[in-house]
Chain A
């Protein structure tokens, strides 16, 4: 029996930098006795030499398989699971039974049936919806999304791709590059994947021909320039026979590159580095357990935040400083992109769900309009003037398609004019929202640059897209933080009360109105003084004093602030709506 587990912690940056991961060391004890297999000699073990997993994986790779229908994506994933020892005996038994019933492979096991889990898929022998599968080897855990090749289900492929860091694009060696290969390659590039493995499959059916492999490789290289992938490898495989999946195949002596699994285990996918960006936190939840704590919770999507940092809340423009940063395990000095945090601020500024807290010196775009590329996913066509709800980050707002600038031709990758987008078409669009949207181009930020469109009536998700440019900016509060404003300016803020808050445009208007109202009030006081026959000299003095001092009375009695606005728009989900 091994020692009981003592408190462990996840390895942090410093540990990794030193190359010593305490959790991993302690986890040596995980290699305890294995009663199941110790006594059972008949274990099926396709990968007997595979090293057992001794600790939680140090890294995670999310990838997809995509490509045209029947190119062998699901078979490849099934094979990968089998070869990495990730299929349990009872699942193998079920696979044998299923192969007899639904199999497309004759005597051999139909590995696609390990992955195609819906009854409709098994009956039709195709993938309809994304399957998420999991396996780990050595130090890396993998989350695979096996996507459907059928054009009708392109939206499911795009969904899988949006979450992936790498794509395996399959090509059937007999058929070569098809239009669906091109479409999937384009969507892969649209969602920003840079690392791609082109797996040329079914090599068994072309006699493992090097010439055929080279021919397809050249064909694919020809379309690469438009796609912007920066890391592309080509691997000849047979998903069915298992060539070059885990071990180098004797059937392809001419191929000297890595096997598919070797590539997956070693690749450092070129992903967008959100850590290099200025701080961005879309607020998901306002955490207010008691009167002394008001925290803003969300996952950081850019940069880093530390106690004392100056921030600005968008779209309102309210400024403050970070009082505290709380990670999953309590208060921390700082936190970075990827972490789920709660932060508190030194000032009571108005922040609610849907707002974005950003570094004070680098606010994002705030605009009612933006342009982008989208994949239309609904049965009915998308036309100009269409009204939908746009969701970016944690914010939702009604929006209109103000222009449709073209559709992408999947054969030439060029934009052609279009009056409408039909299902599975990709188009260039402009959207105008009812309220200012906090957004960034997708190339700058994955989270604030991605959106979905929702049909306001049926509630279906009808499009997914990426932001290209953020339109005319809405005025944001001028530079300068609440803290370093002069005493006089602070006094002026107090005098202005509610008119000193809110967006700049709104504020200017409000301020003018306030001053006009104050002047009218003073004139009235002067007028009354006249009527009551006060000394003539006193009239203007009285009026001036009234003009200057009365607002401070309002402050003293707390009547200068509006009560917190209740949002009645049904598209806005209020913080604490859950309580």
Chain B
């Protein structure tokens, strides 16, 4: 048998999953969060259906608090690839004035991300949503299936997951139920960066170090991306060489000090890094099992 490298095997596995999901869904959608994992997932989807296009639109759940560079990148990529892009924002949340500063990270995430995602899935009646989550991100994700069944209320039942032997995915569901599919389940952060480098996949420039306006808050380095972020007493804006390991809402995403300005640098830095990528995310640290709880409620 031909020797396939680690990345070639992961690539083939992901393409298999993407095709299996698209073939068994009535109305699939790809959640596009604009981050590096989404970039890889989208790249794999393009490969899976060549010479055609992926038979599904992209969905971005916009909390209105994403980095501006992310939004620019999102619109440019969708146009370049000629894909449909649906952007959904929880307007009720906007009207209620939910924001990460006044409402806190927990409420903001619940309303503007989890609720918004459910709204969008219900509105368009999507029954299969691709997500770029990886099992190596977090310990409850390590238990997640590739095809994760959700109730009509979008809940995840950790104790009642279907076994997935070999690659025989059981994609049958009842009316109202839906699946979250994770084609990158078996990829690690390292794999993602190696693949981005090898395949020349465009990513948001925020992943590369550059001088940026930073406020130190609660031990995290938060980038002041617009005027909605106000200084608290004693705070100041410093220009620091930083980059981001994950991307989300700017007030909730901690930067790391870094001089890694190329993919080579990023990979070198990641190898010697002693903290996990999720460390910069304010929302994961609310409580011990917080990711598991959020997932049960319908978070990705």
> Which of B32-40, B77-85, B259-267 lies at the interface?
B259-267
In the assembled complex, B248 has its CB within 8 A of some CB on chain A? no
**B1 → chain A closest CB, angstroms:** 3
Report yes or no: A340 in contact with B16, Cβ–Cβ below 8 A.
Answer: yes
* Interface 0/1 of B234-258, CB less than 8 Å to A: 0000000000000000000000111
Report yes or no: A134 in contact with B7, Cβ–Cβ below 8 A.
Answer: no
Which residues of A (460-482) have their CB < 8 Å from a CB of B?
Answer: 460-461, 464
Report yes or no: B165 in contact with A577, Cβ–Cβ below 8 A.
Answer: no
A8-B197, A340-B12 are contacts. A91–B262 as well, Cβ < 8 Å?
A: no
Report yes or no: B259 in contact with A35, Cβ–Cβ below 8 A.
Answer: yes
> Which of A156-164, A259-267, A544-552 lies at the interface?
A156-164
In the assembled complex, B143 has its CB within 8 A of some CB on chain A? yes
Q: Which residues of B contact A36 (CB under 8 A)?
A: 256, 258, 269, 272-275
In the assembled complex, B271 has its CB within 8 A of some CB on chain A? yes
Q: Which of B27, B164, B265 contacts A1 (CB 8 A)?
A: B265
Report yes or no: A2 in contact with B265, Cβ–Cβ below 8 A.
Answer: yes
**A382 → chain B closest CB, angstroms:** 15
In the assembled complex, A117 has its CB within 8 A of some CB on chain B? yes
Q: How many Å lie between the Cα of A7 and that of B48 in the bound state?
A: 21
Report yes or no: B16 in contact with A578, Cβ–Cβ below 8 A.
Answer: no
In the assembled complex, A205 has its CB within 8 A of some CB on chain B? no
Q: Which of A10, A297, A337, A447 contacts B19 (CB 8 A)?
A: A297
Chain A contact residue count (CB 8 A cutoff): 114
> Which of A246-254, A270-278, A407-415, A426-434 lies at the interface?
A270-278
Q: Which residues of A contact B165 (CB under 8 A)?
A: 158-159, 162-163, 191, 450, 452, 464
Q: Which of B26, B27, B268 contacts A30 (CB 8 A)?
A: B268
Q: Which residues of B contact A30 (CB under 8 A)?
A: 264, 267-268, 271
Report yes or no: A391 in contact with B168, Cβ–Cβ below 8 A.
Answer: yes
Report yes or no: B7 in contact with A461, Cβ–Cβ below 8 A.
Answer: no
Report yes or no: A339 in contact with B264, Cβ–Cβ below 8 A.
Answer: no
In the assembled complex, A386 has its CB within 8 A of some CB on chain B? no
Q: Which residues of B contact A33 (CB under 8 A)?
A: 259-260, 265, 268-269
Q: Which of A31, A91, A450 contacts B268 (CB 8 A)?
A: A31
Report yes or no: B142 in contact with A285, Cβ–Cβ below 8 A.
Answer: no
Q: Which of B12, B24, B258, B289 contacts A299 (CB 8 A)?
A: B12
In the assembled complex, A322 has its CB within 8 A of some CB on chain B? no
Count of A-B contacts judged by CB separation below 8 Å: 290
Q: Which of B172, B256, B262, B273 contacts A5 (CB 8 A)?
A: B262
Closest A-chain residue to B47, C-beta based? A328
Report yes or no: B140 in contact with A13, Cβ–Cβ below 8 A.
Answer: no
Report yes or no: B279 in contact with A5, Cβ–Cβ below 8 A.
Answer: no
Closest A-chain residue to B20, C-beta based? A284
A33-B265, A56-B5, A89-B275 are contacts. A133–B288 as well, Cβ < 8 Å?
A: no
Q: Which of A7, A130, A328, A392 contacts B15 (CB 8 A)?
A: A328
In the assembled complex, A515 has its CB within 8 A of some CB on chain B? no
Q: Which of B9, B21, B143 contacts A60 (CB 8 A)?
A: B9
Closest A-chain residue to B2, C-beta based? A336
In the assembled complex, B8 has its CB within 8 A of some CB on chain A? yes
Which residues of A (522-543) have their CB < 8 Å from a CB of B?
Answer: none
Closest A-chain residue to B142, C-beta based? A131
In the assembled complex, A401 has its CB within 8 A of some CB on chain B? no
In the assembled complex, B22 has its CB within 8 A of some CB on chain A? yes
Report yes or no: A342 in contact with B50, Cβ–Cβ below 8 A.
Answer: yes
Report yes or no: A52 in contact with B264, Cβ–Cβ below 8 A.
Answer: no
Q: Which of A132, A287, A460 contacts B186 (CB 8 A)?
A: A132
In the assembled complex, A155 has its CB within 8 A of some CB on chain B? yes
Q: How many Å lie between the Cα of A464 and that of B288 in the bound state?
A: 35
Q: How many Å lie between the Cα of A36 and that of B271 in the bound state?
A: 10
Q: Which of A35, A91, A131, A575 contacts B269 (CB 8 A)?
A: A35
Q: Which residues of A contact B11 (CB under 8 A)?
A: 328, 340
Report yes or no: B26 in contact with A9, Cβ–Cβ below 8 A.
Answer: no
Q: Which residues of B contact A299 (CB under 8 A)?
A: 12, 15-16
Q: Which residues of A contact B172 (CB under 8 A)?
A: 389, 454, 459
Report yes or no: A353 in contact with B23, Cβ–Cβ below 8 A.
Answer: yes
**B59 → chain A closest CB, angstroms:** 15
- CB-defined A-B contacts under 8 Å, sample of 15: A1-B262, A4-B263, A16-B3, A23-B198, A44-B274, A56-B5, A59-B5, A60-B6, A132-B186, A158-B165, A293-B52, A446-B166, A454-B172, A460-B162, A578-B21
Using a CB–CB cutoff of 8 Å, the interface residues on chain B facing chain A are 1-12, 15-16, 19-28, 47-53, 55-56, 128, 135-136, 138-143, 158-159, 161-168, 170-174, 185-186, 188, 190-191, 194-195, 197-198, 200, 256-265, 267-269, 271-276, 279, 288-289, 292
Closest 6 CB pairs of A and B: A275-B1, A117-B139, A289-B52, A32-B268, A34-B272, A162-B165
